[in-house]
Amino acid sequence: MRRNHSRLHCLSFDVEEHFQVSAFASPMRRRHWDQFESRVEQNTYKILHLLERRGIKATFFVLGWVAERHPRLVKEIASLGHEIASHGYSHELITAQTPALFREDVRRAKGILEDLVGASVTGYRAPTFTITPETEWALPILVEEGYVYDSSIFPVIHDSYGFRGANPWCHQLNTTSGPLWEVPPSTIQLAGIRIPIAGGGYFRLFPYPVLRWMLRQVEAQGHPLVVYLHPWELDPHQPRMNGPLLSRFRHYVNLQRTEERLARLIEDFSFAPVREVIEPVRRNFQKHRALAAKRQEIRRAASIGAPIASADSRLRGV
Ligand SMILES: [Zn+2]
């Protein structure tokens, strides 16, 4: 039976094929995507069954390329009550895109997904978290294209992504085109180094009690966890690909552990889709901002001796 925890955390899955991961990417492999064996449906269904047994809803960042080829899968995910969000269309790293190509990519993916599920798609996660200091230009484009939140900034140091020193908690970014909520994957500061703990190879590497202890540390600080996994991580029998040794280690380490580990995780913590988890954070933020504005108005009115009723009435009910 599921334990009753009051704090809700974000559970998310990047829905892509095992042969689309950036660590093994090459122009040659991309040209042959349609010829590889597709395993994304069977792997995603493993996740859906696991979540269904425990009545848990999550966010699925679906790649537009996958959605075009597996429309029934996307509709099925949405009909089970999960959130459909966008992983872009082509899985091209943003660091390798121009602003114009990026806009086209995120617009195309959003259109495909919204046509399939008949609802607005408001969340985005970049391929391999490639919103970095060099690609910050992508953030206002997301706002202009109708996205409400982004989950692409990883506040760590890594060889192919990462945004050192970025705010590691859910927060509002003020882009030149308006506000955007940022939902970074969970990290923990240990011995002065911020390390990722809530997804990918890191999630599979640590012994589970160690992982749980680290996640509890983040939870104790009052922040929602942001966990991310991929359907191919529940597929220990996927065909092996050639690539650099480090990439092969990260991709294949402990794949046989993922399914059981995910089952334990959803027993030990309470999860919900990203949009649902960030809603109270957004409301709280707006409340604090309104209170700060009110205090500032009162201070200004007091300093010039003007009545403060107008400030009060304007902010009442916020
Ligand atoms: Zn991806």
CA of 25 to the centre of ligand 1 (A): 11
pTM: 0.87
182-202: b or e for each residue (b if 16 or more CB lie within 10 Å)?
bbbbbbbeeeeebebbbbbbb
Q: CA 247, CA 158: separation in Å to the nearest integer?
A: 13
CA of 213 to the centre of ligand 1 (A): 27
CA of 225 to the centre of ligand 1 (A): 19
Q: Which of 197, 186, 193 is nearest to 221 (CA)?
A: 186
Q: For the chain, 318 residues long, give each residue's pLDDT as a single digit of tens.
A: 444 456 899 999 999 999 888 776 777 778 888 888 999 999 999 999 999 999 999 999 999 999 999 999 999 999 999 999 999 999 999 989 999 999 999 999 999 999 999 999 999 999 999 899 899 999 999 999 999 999 999 887 666 677 777 888 999 999 999 999 999 999 998 888 888 888 877 888 888 999 999 999 999 998 999 999 999 999 888 787 777 777 776 776 677 888 999 999 999 999 999 999 998 777 777 778 788 888 888 888 888 776 554 444 343 333
Tell me which amino acid residue 279 is.
Answer: E
Please tell me the predicted confidence (pLDDT) of residue 267. Answer: 95
- Give ion ligand 1 contacts, CB < 5 A: 14, 16, 127
206-219: b or e for each residue (b if 16 or more CB lie within 10 Å)?
beeeebbebbeebb
CA of 162 to the centre of ligand 1 (A): 15
CA of 90 to the centre of ligand 1 (A): 10
Q: CA 83, CA 276: separation in Å to the nearest integer?
A: 9
Tell whether the torsion through CA atoms of 164, 243, 29 and 70 is positive or negative: negative
Please tell me the predicted confidence (pLDDT) of residue 160. Answer: 63
Please tell me the predicted confidence (pLDDT) of residue 5. Answer: 54
Which DSSP string do the residues of the chain spell out, in sequence order?
Answer: -----SSEEEEEEEE--GGG-GGG--HHHHHTGGGSPP-HHHHHHHHHHHHHHTT---EEEE-HHHHHH-HHHHHHHHHTTPEEEE--SS---GGGS-HHHHHHHHHHHHHHHHHHHSS---EE--GGG---GGGTTHHHHHHHTT--EE-----S--SS---TT---S-EEEEETTEEEEE-PPPEEEETTEEEE-SBHHHHHHS-HHHHHHHHHHHHHTT---EEEE-GGGG-TTSPP----HHHHHHHHTTGGGHHHHHHHHHHHSEEE-HHHHHHHHHHHHHHHHHHHHHHHHHHHHHHHT---HHHHHHHTT-
Please tell me the predicted confidence (pLDDT) of residue 159. Answer: 63
CA of 22 to the centre of ligand 1 (A): 7
Domain boundaries, the chain: 8-272, 278-318
Please tell me the predicted confidence (pLDDT) of residue 177. Answer: 97
Q: CA 105, CA 87: separation in Å to the nearest integer?
A: 10
- 238 is written with which tokens? 């996927």
CA of 165 to the centre of ligand 1 (A): 23
CA of 175 to the centre of ligand 1 (A): 24
CA of 87 to the centre of ligand 1 (A): 7
CA of 247 to the centre of ligand 1 (A): 14
CA of 231 to the centre of ligand 1 (A): 10
CA of 200 to the centre of ligand 1 (A): 10
CA of 21 to the centre of ligand 1 (A): 6
Q: How many CA atoms lie within 13 A of 44 on its CB side?
A: 29
Please tell me the predicted confidence (pLDDT) of residue 316. Answer: 39
CA of 131 to the centre of ligand 1 (A): 13
Instruction: Specify the CATH class of 8-272 in words.
Output: alpha beta
Q: Which of 42, 40, 48, 45 is nearest to 17 (CA)?
A: 40
